[in-house]
């Protein structure tokens, strides 16, 4: 009886040790250091005087011109989409009307009725317009999960037309014994193609939403559409570069193949060899874009809005988005405000430090456990909402220890029957009631976004008052469904096993 009692009392510790052993095995097989690779940001453009903000109030954001390519536009070229149904209808309309190119870069394409309707619209446009090219970039593991999946949904289009291509990004971290033994869903922990870019001729929708039923019905997200050919060309080129080191699907071959210009399978050879060549191609692409912009003389003279695209590809050694995001906090001014949103609260220590030390008044909106997409999931995934609560609690304790809890507020989004996936931030200049800048895209500002997945966002700076009002309405629409979280997260019960696992596995979710 005593032995049984001792076992029952000690099994949580045994479980934790087993999990640590698994974590060490993961480290052995999928987190090998990449020789000669260091975390670097992308090439920086020259901060030309002709591209500085003319508005004196925006001068504190002028450092962005030296941090990323810049695309000047007019504010009326930007549509802030507030509703997931409008997002879906916009995508359908654009898929039906595009004349030359459609590029859909997402984590995956769903397999439900709404997604089937989307495929039907694409098929009809292809039949009527022989010049149209349709290009999909999805994640390999997520896009091939199950017998019916993204790949099988798109395949009939490819069999009908040679103008349809499908590329599946395969993380170089999934290799060796891990690739052989890791089951579906679990293999997605190692790294994903997570960018959300939906491009139709010269229109670009930047979002955090996937092309899936939930995101079209009851999953809260953000979506901004920009009508601008140079920006559309930029993202078309970026997606094309990622496709070069992704696997190419053919309607004639069962197995995906390498791109004709690429020689390294992501799961063979060395991880460093793949990552270094992929990084070189992304760096070269940005260098070419920046060189063209630095030599261009035809600046948008009536621009009142400036778009800075940023990317993050941590497994390739590219840290660009995270550098820019941290700089936004670090360069914030006294009496300014930042409102932030994240679908999954797992901020990196660097982000937590930047928020704790910044001068702006900050608010962060995250998912209530009831609005978390992992709520009710089977197995260990069911504990993820509790893990996010625990991480938020630890951050709040850090704020209190630094005596900054009066300046940083935490909120939780909750709406019956909905899940929450919106992310980004809004920056308000000192003593301003409207945001002058927003950051929107696929990044959740967490460990995965910085270290594992492919991400892209756009930083939009504007002096257009109408656009500022529309961005403020978007922010208010999200925050009105948020309630103060500090009291809740400090008293919410966290399962013991979750508390033991979070520190071991937090960079996987």
The residues annotated as belonging to the active site are 194, 196, 201
Instruction: Give dist(CA 218, CA 488) in Å, integer.
Output: 24
Rounded distance between C-alpha atoms, residue 16 and residue 25, angstroms: 14
In terms of Cβ atoms closer than 10 Å to its own Cβ (0-12, 13-18, 19+), residue 15 is: middle
SS3 of the chain: helix, strand, coil, percent, to 5: 45, 20, 35
Q: Are 136 and 165 in contact (CB under 8 A)?
A: yes
Q: Is residue 43 within 8 Å of 286, Cβ to Cβ?
A: yes
CA atoms of 391 and 382, how far apart (whole Å)? 16
Name 213's Cβ contacts closer than 8 Å, sequence gap at least 6: 110, 112, 113, 114, 115
**Burial of 21: CB neighbours in 10 Å, binned 0-12, 13-18, 19+:** exposed
For residues 114-150, one letter each, b for 16 or more C-beta atoms within 10 angstroms of the residue's C-beta and e for the rest, the string is: bbeebbebbbebbeeeeebbbbbbbbbbbbbbeeebb
- Report the chain's C-alpha Rg in angstroms: 23
Phi, then psi, of 244 in degrees rounded to 5: -60, -35
Provide the strand spans (E) within 298-447: 305-313, 318-319, 337-341, 361-367, 408-413, 419-420, 424-428, 437-441
CA 449, CA 173: separation in Å to the nearest integer? 15
Q: What SS3 state is found at 245?
A: coil
Report strand pairing: 247-249 vs 223-227.
unpaired
Looking at 31-139, list the stretches that DSSP marks H as alpha helix, in order from N- to C-terminal side.
84-97, 113-128
Separation CA 152–CA 11 (nearest Å): 44
| SS3 state at 492 | coil
Burial category of 279 from C-beta neighbours within 10 Å (exposed 0-12, middle 13-18, buried 19 and up): buried
């Amino acid at each position: 009886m005593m032995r049984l009692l001792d076992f029952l009392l000690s099994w949580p510790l045994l479980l934790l040790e087993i999990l640590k052993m698994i974590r060490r095995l993961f480290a052995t097989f999928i987190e090998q250091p990449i020789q000669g690779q260091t975390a670097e940001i992308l090439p920086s453009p020259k901060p030309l005087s002709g591209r500085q903000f003319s508005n004196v109030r925006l001068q504190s954001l002028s450092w962005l011109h030296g941090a990323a390519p810049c695309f000047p536009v007019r504010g009326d070229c930007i549509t802030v989409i507030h509703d997931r149904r409008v997002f879906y209808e916009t995508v359908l309309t654009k898929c039906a009307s595009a004349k030359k190119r459609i590029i859909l870069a997402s984590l995956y394409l769903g397999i439900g009725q709404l997604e089937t309707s989307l495929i039907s619209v694409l098929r009809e446009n292809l039949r009527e317009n022989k010049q149209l090219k349709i290009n999909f970039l999805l994640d390999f593991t997520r896009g091939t999960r199950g017998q019916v999946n993204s790949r099988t949904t798109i395949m009939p289009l490819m069999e009908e037309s040679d103008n349809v291509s499908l590329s599946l990004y395969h993380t170089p971290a999934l290799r060796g014994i891990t690739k052989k033994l890791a089951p579906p869903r679990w293999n997605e922990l190692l790294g994903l193609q997570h960018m959300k870019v939906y491009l139709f001729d010269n229109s670009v929708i930047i979002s955090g939403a996937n092309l899936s039923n939930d995101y079209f019905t009851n999953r809260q997200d953000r979506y901004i559409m920009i009508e601008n050919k140079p920006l559309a060309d930029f993202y078309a080129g970026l997606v094309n570069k990622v496709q070069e080191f992704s696997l190419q699907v053919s309607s004639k071959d069962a197995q995906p193949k390498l791109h004709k210009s690429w020689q390294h399978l992501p799961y063979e050879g060395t991880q460093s060899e793949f990552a270094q060549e992929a990084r070189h191609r992304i760096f070269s692409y940005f260098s070419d874009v920046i060189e063209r912009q630095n030599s261009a003389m035809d600046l948008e003279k009536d621009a009142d809005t400036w778009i800075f695209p940023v990317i993050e590809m941590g497994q390739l050694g590219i840290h660009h988005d995270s550098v820019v995001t941290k700089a936004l906090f670090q360069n914030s001014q006294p009496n300014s405000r930042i409102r932030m949103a994240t679908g999954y609260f797992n901020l990196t220590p660097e982000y937590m430090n930047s928020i704790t030390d910044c001068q702006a008044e900050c608010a962060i909106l995250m998912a209530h456990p009831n609005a978390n997409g992992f709520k009710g999931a089977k197995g260990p995934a069911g504990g993820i909402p509790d893990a996010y609560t625990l991480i938020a609690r630890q951050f709040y304790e850090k704020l209190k220890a630094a005596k900054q809890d009066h300046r940083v507020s935490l909120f939780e989004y909750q709406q019956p029957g909905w899940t929450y996936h919106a992310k980004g931030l809004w920056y308000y200049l000192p003593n301003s009631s409207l945001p002058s800048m927003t950051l929107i895209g696929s990044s959740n500002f967490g460990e995965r976004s910085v270290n594992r997945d492919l991400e892209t966002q756009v930083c939009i700076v504007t002096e257009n008052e109408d656009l500022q009002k529309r961005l403020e309405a978007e922010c208010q629409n999200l925050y009105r469904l948020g309630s103060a979280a500090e009291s809740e997260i400090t008293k919410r019960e966290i399962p013991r096993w979750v508390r033991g696992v979070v520190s071991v596995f937090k960079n996987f979710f």
